[in-house]
Amino acid sequence: MSADLRAVLDEGPMTRFQWRAITVCVLLNTLDGFDVLVMSFTGKSVSGQWSLGSGTLGLLLSSGLAGMALGALLIAPRADRIGRRPVILGGLATAALGMIVSSLSQNWQQLALLRVLTGLGIGAVLACSNVIAGEFASRRWRGLAVSLNSTGYAIGATVGGLSSVALIDHHGWRSVFLTGGLATLSVVPLAYFFLPESLDFLFTRRPSRALERINTLARQMRHPELTELPAVGVEKDQLRSAGFRALFAGPLRRPTLVLWGAFFLVMAAFYFVTSWTPTLLVEAGMSSSQGLTGGTLLNVGGIFGTALLGTLAARFALVSVLRSYLFVAGALVVAFAASTDTLALAFCLGAVIGVAVNGCIAGLYALTPEVYSTRLRATGVGAAISVGRVGAIIAPSAAGWLLDAGATPRTLYVATGIVFAAAGVLLFALRGQAADGQQVASARVSAAA
């Protein structure tokens, strides 16, 4: 019966309830986009107040990403055991606390520690919200659903960039952190009442009142209720023992390694571009407002880029669309390196780059859940994001140190373009091995349990 219900959700039309669940996930990612990139928007003001060098600013930019890596690696996998919803609620509360207290920090060391705390919550929310968005979408619209989730991230980053200009001018950089923290805190009750638990999780893990909760979701999606839970295909003790080692069992080993490599490269390149662009534009001769505008245009482009990727993924193989995005992103970033002397050209290229680089992230988020079965999905997605965050942590800090050592912004952008292209080449390793994720998703990993 659960297979029948899953088949109906996969092949049937999307209901209003399903779209509502996806919309809540998009909203959560909107706040995450603001919270993640708040340091890049306030970096120039913070470094000016505390007289920080580029290397120290790079550490501040990386500290939130370090927290996100830990959250995705250590907290998100709990969602495969206790549920996606409680992990998301806890992550939201943690991120809100970190943002609010960050507005009171008295030195860069305190701010760095609080950015790690904020990142812990964001990492858990990002991994689990992408999983829920994918699980409540039909097969046809799954790529679009997860891409829309990433669109929320770009929207939040755009709103953060636009609001930061006014907030910093009138109230200082601390007001940006306070605003983001209060906004995140206000969404906790909304998520509590309107974010559903994963149907796949309820069928697989069977927590307390599982049948009642499944039937509640079935009614809301206008599907028949169940009279009893179907037989479990895998014993519960096996389910408990499955973990990170199951990601490398049998046919999952190769796609897991490919995804980890792609996440590392793409997130390193993405976070260099999004974290340093506002500051480097100022160093290239633009005003602080123009630098923030350039960084904001990256995220404006990202709104369209992620939505476009989802639309294309409904018609073409997702992995092919993603590879195209990666190669285009590499070429555009190299072109941007030569455009900073011309304001209008730099702004135009910045917006187009935003389309490409945000689409790359959205494509990886959409591809990864398809590779893993329900009982490994949050673990698989969380692990891939965590590996990606390692690259995201290294890139901003390394860029700061290289700039202090005499490297030019143009050289760093060219190197970043090469990294995007390398990730596109790496994805060719998925060819012939269920590149669209469907064959791998069906692979059983009980041998590792």
**By the 8 A CB rule, do 56 and 47 touch?**
yes
Q: 10 Å Cβ neighbour count for 270? A: 25
Selection from 214, 170, 184, 181 nearest residue 196 by Cα = 214
pLDDT for residue 329:
92
Q: How confident is the model at residue 237, as a pLDDT?
A: 41
Strand, helix or coil at 224? coil
Give me the pLDDT at residue 169, please. 83
pTM exceeding 0.75: no
**pLDDT, position 426:** 93
pLDDT digits (tens, 9 = 90+) for 410-448: 888 889 999 999 999 999 987 644 433 444 433 333 333
What are the residue ranges of helices labelled H in 103-228? 108-135, 142-171, 174-194, 199-205, 210-220
The Cβ-side half-sphere exposure at 47, using a 13 Å CA radius, reads 19
Give DSSP secondary structure letters for 260-328: HHHHHHHHHHHHHHHHHHHHHHHHTT--HHHHHHHHHHHHHHHHHHHHHHHHHHTTS-HHHHHHHHHHH
Q: What is the DSSP letter of 142?
A: H
Domains located in the chain, CATH noted: 2-448 (1.20.1250.20)
Query: Cβ distance 349 to 335 under 8 Å?
Result: yes
- Residues in the chain with pLDDT values less than 70: 1-4, 6, 231-243, 279-296, 299, 340-343, 346, 431-449
The residue count of the chain comes to 449
Q: Are 159 and 167 in contact (CB under 8 A)?
A: no
Residue 315: the pLDDT is: 80
Per-residue pLDDT at 276: 72
Q: With beta carbons less than 8 A apart as the criterion, state whether 123 and 381 touch.
A: no
**Residue 407 burial (CB count, 10 A):** 14
